[in-house]
Structure 1
Amino acid sequence: MTEILAHLTLAFGILGNIVSFMVFLAPIPTFYKVYKKKSTEGFQSAPYVVGLFSAMLWIYYAFLKSNVLLLITINSVGCFIETMYICFFLFYAPKKARMESLKLIVLLIVVGFGLIVAMTQFLASGVTRGVIVGWICLVFSLCVFVAPLGVLRQVIKTKSVEYMPILLSVALTLSAVMWFFYGLLLGDFNIAIPNVLGFIFGIIQMILYLIYKNQKPVTHGKALEPESKKYSIREMEEEEIPEIKDHQTVDVVKFKENGHDATRVAIEPQAHPNMPNHIIEVTA
């Protein structure tokens, strides 16, 4: 039985590494756009800095534990990839964005991670040190998984999934499943518990995607209509616009003249190109 559990743990750890590696590679299309345009435009470096901080935190935790080699391997790869993303971003970012990114790096990576390592090394020892770092990892992971709530609120409000990358959501959900079972089989709830939340949010995102993928986007509480529907048939009847036949093109222009609302309709016949255009003016 113990041997079976060991094989299952190894299997889920390897699958977790594979899926997490795919998640780390997900931003490549974004950076390809940055490379082509030679500018980061409106992209932010925060997700990559947070990703680097998270990977470093889990590596530190893994070194304090035993039998979590697969946790070290994937997060080492993650540190390398996230560092490359950050360097790439800093190279193409404008001066203001570059300075903001450097401040975030110093605050989170240098100060934040440095304080965690220093305090746990000098103020704790042995098993206690691992427990403290484990709780820090757990809380931080929960905060990372709660972050997509903003995207979910936007999807519900706008009834649009334009800004929800469904493939990334699926990959993150699979990753959460793999690491949950890996942590559960190891008996390490600092690994398992945050991934429960990650799985739940992943399922919610996919459900919302299925609900709203064919919905019309909503702006200010009204569904967006095509430009061609700006003037409905009823509105044209109320304006007493005469029926136009023979496939003629009608341009409707509303304006104010001498304090009165007026509608001017320009008729451009197509069947008889030699006939002059007509202007019909209806004054309210």
Structure 2
Amino acid sequence: MESLLLHRILPFAFGILGNIVSLMVFLSPILTFYRIYRNKSTGEFQSTPYVFSLFSCSLWIYYALVKTHSVPLITNNAFGCLIEATYITMYLIYATKKARIFTIRVFVLVNVVAFAAILLLTQPLITGTKRVTVLGWICVAFSLSVYAAPLGIMMRVIRTRSVECMPFNIPLFHMLSAIAWFGYGLFTDDVYVELPNVPGFVIGVGQMVLYAIYRKKSGAVVDAAEHEVKVAQPTPSPASVRQHIVRIAEHVVRMVELDPTLDSEPQVIAGENDREKKKKIDVAEPPLISTPELDNHDDKKKKAKEENDMGVKKPRIVVEHIINIRELISVVA
């Protein structure tokens, strides 16, 4: 019973757990690629980590096939190959020409040339258990080199005192993945699976400690910045905006009404038909006898007619704008 637990049940359980957590690790950059898809541009994102991750998954599949009886390793890294290939394809679609050429060159160099060289080295030249040993150490060496990226991120967090470049979920999933695969290697007596997950666990714990240290400091800086913006640029209330519009509109109306060259009363504008009727009436009237009183009356009439004509020539647009502004004031107020 104890042998069954140690050699069957626990390896299977840790293998399933490793597959689940590793899937979360593979999917952790999905927000980055959603941003690339939304912006239709890769921006400053680099494709190199995904190219090397695809190479690592391919190596572990080859190792599991040579060793045999390592189904959890095969399924886990098969998912990884599929996801990383999808990321690389999306990157090539939205990258610039220069970045696309660089990605293709690195992809061919690593995933074609280097992988073919490993196949040629291990297939015809090395046989039996030595092949598993050589492949195991190659996988360990490459897995350890991959940890250079998390170490660089940790140094950046310490230097900038900010965790913006290190979300909490990524180190958490890496730490859980290292625990799961270390347990799988321990209960299957596979030292090549155990070794790379020891530094993986240590780095994951270190990242979480850094996150706990600098998270509050980063949050304090962000809160202070937000408070400063709110004080410097207060958001106006709807009531203050409405009062401001009313004051501006009233000022415009007052300035137009005080202008002596403009007439704000629309009723002074006589229509063409009214003037024509007036002219017809004036023509139809019989001539009057000239007297001083009549002459004085004619002068007043002529002056009034000139003032009326002047009012007719005043721009109608100004009068219409005054009416519209007054209506705006009544609606807003």
Fold match, TM over 0.5? yes
2:252 alignment counterpart: none
TM-score, normalisation: structure 2: 0.65
Task: For residues 153-207 of structure 1, give each alpha carbon's deviation from its aligned partner in whole angstroms, at most 9, with x where no partner exists.
Answer: 1111111111112101100100000000000110001001110110000000000
1:211 alignment counterpart: 213
Alignment gaps of 5+ in structure 2: 229-333
2:165 alignment counterpart: 163
Pair 1:135 & 2:159 matched: no
Of structures 1 and 2, the one scoring higher in RCO (CA 8 A, sep 6+) is 2
1:45 to 44, 47, 67: 47
Question: Structure 1 segments of 4 or more deviating over 3 A?
Answer: 225-229
Q: CA 1:213/1:140 → structure 2, altered by over 3 Å: closer, same or farther?
A: same
2:261 alignment counterpart: none
Tell me the distance in 2 between the aligned counterparts of 1:154 and 1:134. 32
Tell me the distance in 2 between the aligned counterparts of 1:131 and 1:122. 15
Residue 107 of structure 2 aligns to which amino acid in structure 1?
I
Pair 1:188 & 2:177 matched: no
Tell me the distance in 2 between the aligned counterparts of 1:52 and 1:147. 15
SS across alignment from 2:93? helix
Number of residue equivalences: 227
Residue 28 of structure 1 aligns to which amino acid in structure 2?
I
**Which protein has the bigger helix share?**
2
**Rg bigger for which structure?**
2
SS across alignment from 2:123? helix
8 Å Cα contact 2:54-2:80 kept in structure 1: yes
1:110 alignment counterpart: 112
Task: For residues 220-256 of structure 1, give each alpha carbon's deviation from its aligned partner in whole angstroms, at most 9, with x where no partner exists.
Answer: xxxxx86999xxxxxxxxxxxxxxxxxxxxxxxxxxx
Tell me the distance in 2 between the aligned counterparts of 1:70 and 1:216. 40
Tell me the distance in 1 between the aligned counterparts of 2:80 and 2:227. 49
Task: For residues 2-49 of structure 1, give each alpha carbon's deviation from its aligned partner in whole angstroms, at most 9, with x where no partner exists.
Answer: 111110110000000011111111111111111111111111111110
Pair 1:4 & 2:18 matched: no
Residue 152 of structure 1 aligns to which amino acid in structure 2?
M
Tell me the distance in 2 between the aligned counterparts of 1:163 and 1:89. 20
1:243 alignment counterpart: none
8 Å Cα contact 2:163-2:218 kept in structure 1: no
More displaced 10-residue stretch of structure 1: 4-13 or 140-149? 140-149
The Cα shift of 1:75 comes to: 0.6
**Which protein has the bigger strand share?**
1
SS across alignment from 2:124? helix
Identity within the alignment, %: 50
8 Å Cα contact 2:175-2:204 kept in structure 1: yes
Please give the root-mean-square deviation of Cα atoms over the aligned residues, in Å.
Answer: 2.3
Tell me the distance in 1 between the aligned counterparts of 2:218 and 2:132. 50
Tell me the distance in 1 between the aligned counterparts of 2:82 and 2:47. 15
Tell me the distance in 1 between the aligned counterparts of 2:80 and 2:218. 38
SS across alignment from 1:122? coil
8 Å Cα contact 2:23-2:80 kept in structure 1: yes
Task: For residues 115-160 of structure 1, give each alpha carbon's deviation from its aligned partner in whole angstroms, at most 9, with x where no partner exists.
Answer: 0111111221111111000000001111112331111111111111
